[in-house]
Chains A and B, each alone.
Chain A
Amino acid sequence: MKFIKSIVFILIKTACFGQSATISLTLPDIAYIALAPDNSAFNLVGTSSSQAGGSITFTSNTTKWINFTSAVALGVTRTITAQITSGSIPSGMTLKLTISPVSGAGSGTRGTNVSTINLSSSTQNIITSIGGGYTGKGSGNGYNLTYELVITNYSQLRAGNTSLSITFTII
């Protein structure tokens, strides 16, 4: 009887044969940065007081946002730097750049901002520890930038116009 059972087992057993295919997916490093809404120029205009002895005040600009997309390998982080790459700040003044914390529709590891720097021709870190992530696109997404001119020495002020270029780099 046991013999019969084993025959039945052989009858329903199936033969197997296999093949395999390897699929590889490579996700590349990505490091893209843009200014929103655009990288057009803007003016910081000084206005003198209507009162004799009053201070000069400058308009500030908060219209620019840093957008980026970043993909990194294991253990890698990125930094965004800011630097004046053409022109120079008039004597007696400082150009302050304030970076607000990230906001908007992004996702991932979007880094940590420094609060305020005085812009110069040297590169300075403004956002660090960026991993894989994206900020969202357009104004209202990413890191908002505030530019302010501050008078540090009235005796050095001269009337005139000055143009500067500021370059942001993601590395």
Chain B
Amino acid sequence: MKRLLCLYFLCGAAIDTFSQCSPTISLIGSPLSESPTTFPTSRIGLDYASSELLIDRPSLITIAIANANSCSSWQLSVSRLDNTRNTDLQFWVNKTNDGSSSTSGASISPSGLTTFQEIQTYSQNFFSGVKNRTSIQISYKIIGISVNRRASTYSTTVYYTISGTL
């Protein structure tokens, strides 16, 4: 009986801690509607000058944990779900800075500018960290732009999922 009582309290404490380790993410800068710059007449007979389109309007991610000490760390994952048939179009994302944090002991990994990673249709790690962080800047690029591709609007939804570890 004593043993069961002990487990009961242990479980209660764990659930209490778990409920506080609920990191949330907010994203500013969506939706993004992009188009290549007007095709220049100097390129008649040629394709677009680049198959890549860098989206130069950054989006900002803020990560908040109600009780910063309740989570040992958090991990941010990224994936995408296409809204149109985007065969051969690639969507890439990178972190261009670490944002800021006023919480003691906060960190982010990898730190600083990261290389672009392709956003897949399955979840992949993007970056991780410890404690709160504000205005992490991310940017996107799209690869596969060509006049050979059908003139149309292509769309994808990028999903960011944050998970906290107790």
In Å, the complex CA distance between A137 and B147 comes to: 15
> B59 an interface residue at 8 Å Cβ cutoff?
yes
- Given A23-B91, A23-B140, A69-B43, are A18 and B162 also a contact pair (CB < 8 Å)? yes
Chain A residues with CB under 8 Å of B164's CB are 14-15
- Given A14-B164, A24-B31, A137-B46, are A72 and B150 also a contact pair (CB < 8 Å)? yes
> B29 an interface residue at 8 Å Cβ cutoff?
yes
Taking the closest CB of chain A, its distance from the CB of B48, in whole angstroms, is: 9
Contact of B160 among A4, A19, A27, A70 (CB under 8 A): A19
Chain B residues with CB under 8 Å of A16's CB are 161-163
Chain B residues with CB under 8 Å of A14's CB are 21, 75, 163-166
**Mask for B136-158, Cβ within 8 A of A = 1, else 0?**
00001010011111111111111
B residues in contact (CB < 8 Å) with A:
7, 10-11, 14-15, 18, 21-27, 29-36, 39, 41, 43-47, 53, 55, 59, 61, 75, 83, 89, 91, 140, 142, 145-166
Having A19-B25, A69-B46, A137-B46, one finds 13 other A-B pairs with CB under 8 Å, namely: A14-B166, A15-B164, A21-B158, A25-B89, A25-B154, A27-B35, A27-B153, A34-B44, A73-B152, A134-B47, A134-B147, A136-B45, A138-B45
